[in-house]
Chains A and B, each alone.
Chain A
Amino acid sequence: MKLLIFAGPPSAGKTAVIRQIIRQLTGEFTVAFLKIDVVQAFEDEELKKEFGIPAKKVYSGDICPDHTGILVLRDAISWAEDLGAGILIVESAGLCLRCTPYTTQSLGIVVLSAVSGTNSPLKMAPMIALADIAVVTKVDLISQAEKEVFREQVRDVAPRVDIIETNAVHGTGLRFLTMAIRNVPDILDPDAIVLRGMPPLAVCTICAGKKEIGWQNHFGILKTLDGADDLYRGE
């Protein structure tokens, strides 16, 4: 099974891009979808209804949504593997631009909007720098010169990131993303997956620099994929 991790600020068009990906790959792969959000999310129900795919969401509530994503990711991989999925898509809440939810053995995709301002790539530098692919959405709303200027800003942050420009509503340009997805190797050993980057410091073991995914590897206030309440582990 392939693991795709989508990050990007709210309203950048993450779900619009994911919808196109599912549309293009659904004949080839069984796609499972997990949305991580804070208080409300509808993407899982929409995608389930539209494509009939297994979809799930988890609310982080009082915990950092990116940390929640890390905690539940190991459970989510088992859930999707048990369903026989060929691709697991994880969509982050997209709130903290400092976090980089990408892991090893996955394809990390950041989605950012071309109309979010010239300096926005600089503001979310960590989210872009560790991604494999930067999808720039809403390019139909800007001119050729603006596209190049925006691209230059992304390049300044991440010289090697693969940039794909799209009007995600129409799906233009996304054939390059589906090509990249087809070429992503399957997860080799889910228990060996770790974060690519260090999340910002706060008060749990993820914050303290433990990069393993799955709540089983952490202490403090934790979250499981299906557990209704937060779980505490530790002294």
Chain B
Amino acid sequence: MEPFTPVIITVLSGKTRDGSLEIFDEIVLRAGDTVSVVGPTGSGKTAFINDIEVFACKDTVTGRTVLVNGRIPPDEMVRDPAKKPIALITQNTKCIADLTVKEFLEMHIRARRIPDDSRVGETIALANEFTGEKIAAPMHMTSLSGGQTRSLLIADAITISSAPIILLDEVESGGIFKETVISTLKANNKAVIFVTHDPFLALLSDRRIVMRNGAVERIIIPGGREKKIIHLVSSMDRVLFKIREEIRAGTLLDGGEDIS
């Protein structure tokens, strides 16, 4: 994986929908950071990560500016996705490419001018750690389920794009092992910014950005104060996961006693 030189992203504040200034001066994102973006539907969560993805330069509806290593990024970085240190996994769970998984990954490897092609297998193997529905090289991209598509694109972001900053938009929807995804990204020293409605995922982040009315309303740094609730939600999440799998498998849940 080609090391990008360390990348620090700085988001400078923009405006709320009413035209008043946002409450923060800047939000700084570094390698290893996990930041969740929460708030009601329509509050501007996706717009926030989109600003980062397009390197907003007061040219988006929010009026925010995004700096890379303290500066307006060079045009080349903004315009060529292969030179972008950011990978965005969108809410979209379908891939439109009319290619097989193998062809798609090979083409991406070619686009990145990476000489070694062992990464196709590597990427599929990693993706299969994120999803219970196995992905195979000859499958068509368009036939993958939502969970498979996202798993593959996240794996691709790690192994092929090697992007130091990963943006995830509601990754929890669709059969994906979200905890494994977040811990793998952390282990790879990625800066992860994710939009989420999932309480457990939100609690897993070091910082929570709360959105309202198109703007950042509050930035919460729990710093260990939420330990108790994390413990509780973690066990609840495990129970819910089990029940979900049982329901998917067609089980009648009349016992109840073995779920804990």
A142-180: contact bitstring with B at CB < 8 Å (1 yes, 0 no)? 111111111110000000000111010011110110000
A148 touches B57 (CB 8 A): no
B123-167: contact bitstring with A at CB < 8 Å (1 yes, 0 no)? 000000000000000000000000000000100110011010000
Per a CB cutoff under 8 Å, which of B50, B98, B153, B157 touches A119?
Answer: B98
Per a CB cutoff under 8 Å, which of B59, B107, B160 touches A171?
Answer: B59
Query: How many chain B residues have a CB neighbour from A under 8 Å?
Result: 37
Given contacts A145-B104, A163-B79, A172 and B54 within 8 Å (CB-CB): yes
Min CB–CB distance A192 → chain B (angstroms): 33
Min CB–CB distance A14 → chain B (angstroms): 20
Residue A140, interface by CB 8 Å: yes
Residue B110, interface by CB 8 Å: yes
Neighbouring A residues of B80 by C-beta, 8 Å: 151
| Cα distance, A214 to B79, chains bound together (Å) | 37
A148 touches B157 (CB 8 A): no
Can you name the residue of chain B whose Cβ is closest to the Cβ of A153? Answer: B107
A175 touches B59 (CB 8 A): yes
Neighbouring A residues of B82 by C-beta, 8 Å: 148, 151
Can you name the residue of chain B whose Cβ is closest to the Cβ of A166? Answer: B54
Can you name the residue of chain A whose Cβ is closest to the Cβ of B47? Answer: A170
Per a CB cutoff under 8 Å, which of A115, A141, A147, A171 touches B81?
Answer: A147
Can you name the residue of chain A whose Cβ is closest to the Cβ of B96? Answer: A115
Neighbouring B residues of A119 by C-beta, 8 Å: 98
Residue B97, interface by CB 8 Å: yes
Given contacts A151-B81, A172-B60, A118 and B111 within 8 Å (CB-CB): no
Residue A117, interface by CB 8 Å: yes
Neighbouring A residues of B104 by C-beta, 8 Å: 145, 149
Neighbouring A residues of B156 by C-beta, 8 Å: 145
A173 touches B79 (CB 8 A): yes
Query: How many chain A residues have a CB neighbour from B under 8 Å?
Result: 28
Residue B242, interface by CB 8 Å: no
Min CB–CB distance B130 → chain A (angstroms): 15
Contact residues of A between 46 and 80, Cβ < 8 Å to B: none
B153 touches A118 (CB 8 A): no
| Cα distance, A165 to B54, chains bound together (Å) | 10
Neighbouring A residues of B111 by C-beta, 8 Å: 148-149, 151-152
Min CB–CB distance B254 → chain A (angstroms): 42
A140 touches B50 (CB 8 A): yes
Per a CB cutoff under 8 Å, which of A146, A171, A173 touches B95?
Answer: A146
Contact residues of B between 43 and 74, Cβ < 8 Å to A: 50, 54, 56-57, 59-61
Neighbouring B residues of A163 by C-beta, 8 Å: 79
| Cα distance, A152 to B92, chains bound together (Å) | 21
| Cα distance, A164 to B54, chains bound together (Å) | 12
Min CB–CB distance A155 → chain B (angstroms): 8
Given contacts A142-B92, A165-B79, A172 and B157 within 8 Å (CB-CB): no
Given contacts A152-B107, A152-B111, A146 and B97 within 8 Å (CB-CB): yes
Neighbouring A residues of B54 by C-beta, 8 Å: 167, 172-173
Can you name the residue of chain B whose Cβ is closest to the Cβ of A116? Answer: B96
Neighbouring A residues of B163 by C-beta, 8 Å: 144
| Cα distance, A202 to B26, chains bound together (Å) | 61
Residue B185, interface by CB 8 Å: no
Residue B77, interface by CB 8 Å: no
| Residue among A140, A164, A171 facing the most chain B CB atoms (10 A cut-off) | A140
Per a CB cutoff under 8 Å, which of A115, A145, A176 touches B79?
Answer: A176
Per a CB cutoff under 8 Å, which of A143, A167, A171 touches B89?
Answer: A143
B110-122: contact bitstring with A at CB < 8 Å (1 yes, 0 no)? 1110000000000
| Cα distance, A53 to B235, chains bound together (Å) | 63
Neighbouring A residues of B99 by C-beta, 8 Å: 118, 149
Given contacts A118-B97, A119-B98, A172-B54, A144 and B79 within 8 Å (CB-CB): no
| Cα distance, A144 to B90, chains bound together (Å) | 9
Min CB–CB distance A126 → chain B (angstroms): 21
**A residues in contact (CB < 8 Å) with B:** 114-115, 117-119, 140-152, 163-165, 167, 170-173, 175-176
**B residues in contact (CB < 8 Å) with A:** 50, 54, 56-57, 59-61, 75, 78-82, 84, 86-90, 92, 95-99, 104, 107-108, 110-112, 153, 156-157, 160-161, 163
Closest 4 CB pairs of A and B: A152-B111, A144-B87, A148-B111, A118-B97
What are 14 of the A-B contact pairs (CB < 8 Å)? Answer: A119-B98, A143-B88, A143-B90, A143-B92, A143-B95, A144-B81, A144-B84, A144-B157, A144-B161, A145-B87, A152-B110, A172-B60, A173-B78, A175-B57
